C-alpha cells in the first residue's frame, strides 16, 4: 500500500476512514467467500460420490462464516457502513462457486486456491498497515490470514493445480478478487 492509504495515527480522520475501508472490504470479502462455498455446495452436496468434497467445502464455508460473523460485529461496534455491493457479491460469489463446481472438483479447488491466495495477500498488506495502529484489528486479520492459507493449502493438496486451464482460471479469479477488493473499500 502507499503511504497515502496507510492509517496515520489514532484519532486522525484519515486514519479512521482507512480503518473503516479495511473493515468494509474485509466484511465484503468474507461475505463473498461464504457465497462461493455455498455455490459449490449447491452443486456437490446432493451428487452421489461427492460426500468428501462437500464435507471439505462445508468445513471451509463454516470457517468463512466465522470470519463474516466477526466482521458483522465490527461493522456494528465501529459504525462502519457495509459495502453497497453486497447484493452483487452474493450473486457473483454464488455463481463463481457453482460454475467452478460444475467444471469439476479440481476446478472448484482451483477457485478456492485462487481466492484464498488473493485474500491472504490482501490480509498480509493490511497487517503491515495496521502495525502500531489498531492491535485488535491486526490480530483478527493475522488470524484470518492463517485460516485463508490453510484453505489454500487444502485446495492445492486436493488437486487445484491439476484443474484444466488452471493458470487462466486462477489468474482470472485473482484479478476479479483484486478488483472486488478495491471497489468494496470505497463503495
Q: What is the pLDDT confidence band of residue 15, given thresholds at 50, 70 and 90?
A: confident
pLDDT beyond 90 at 186: no
Give 115-140 pLDDT, tens digit per residue.
Answer: 999 988 889 999 998 888 888 999 99
Give 138-160 pLDDT, tens digit per residue.
Answer: 999 999 999 999 999 999 999 99
For all residues of the chain together, what is the average pLDDT? 88
**Per-residue pLDDT, 1:** 42
Task: State the Cα torsion 99-101-107-113 to the nearest 10°.
Answer: 100
**Cα dist. 138→45, 62, 106, 127, 129 in Å?**
35, 22, 33, 5, 9
First to last CA, the chain: 19
**Per-residue pLDDT, 80:** 92
Give 91-115 pLDDT, tens digit per residue.
Answer: 999 999 999 999 999 999 999 999 9
The residues near 127 (Cβ < 8 Å, ≥ 6 apart) are: 138, 141, 142, 145
- Number of Cβ within 10 Å of residue 159's Cβ equals 17
Domains defined along the chain, listed by start = 11-186 (1.20.1260.10)
In whole angstroms, give the CA distance from residue 144 to residue 160.
Answer: 21
The DSSP call for residue 3 is G
Distance from the Cα of residue 165 to its chain's centroid: 22
- Percent helix, strand, coil in the chain, to 5, is 80, 0, 20
Amino acid at each position: 500500500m502507499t503511504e497515502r492509504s496507510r492509517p496515520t495515527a489514532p484519532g486522525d480522520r484519515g486514519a479512521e476512514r482507512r480503518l473503516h475501508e479495511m473493515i468494509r472490504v474485509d466484511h465484503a470479502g468474507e461475505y463473498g467467500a461464504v457465497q462461493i462455498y455455498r455455490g459449490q455446495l449447491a452443486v456437490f452436496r446432493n451428487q452421489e460420490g461427492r460426500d468428501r468434497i462437500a464435507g471439505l467445502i462445508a468445513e471451509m464455508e463454516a470457517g468463512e462464516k466465522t470470519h463474516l460473523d466477526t466482521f458483522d460485529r465490527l461493522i456494528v461496534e465501529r459504525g462502519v457502513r457495509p459495502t453497497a455491493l453486497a447484493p452483487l457479491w452474493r450473486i457473483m460469489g454464488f455463481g463463481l462457486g457453482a460454475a467452478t463446481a460444475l467444471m469439476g472438483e479440481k476446478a472448484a479447488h482451483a477457485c478456492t486456491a485462487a481466492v484464498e491466495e488473493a485474500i491472504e495477500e490482501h490480509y498480509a498488506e493490511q497487517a503491515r498497515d495496521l502495525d502500531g495502529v489498531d492491535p485488535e484489528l491486526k490480530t483478527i486479520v493475522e488470524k484470518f490470514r492463517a485460516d485463508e492459507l490453510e484453505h489454500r493449502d487444502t485446495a492445492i493438496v486436493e488437486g487445484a493445480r491439476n484443474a484444466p486451464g488452471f493458470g487462466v482460471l486462477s489468474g482470472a479469479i485473482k484479478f476479479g478478487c483484486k478488483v472486488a477488493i478495491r471497489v468494496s473499500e470505497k463503495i
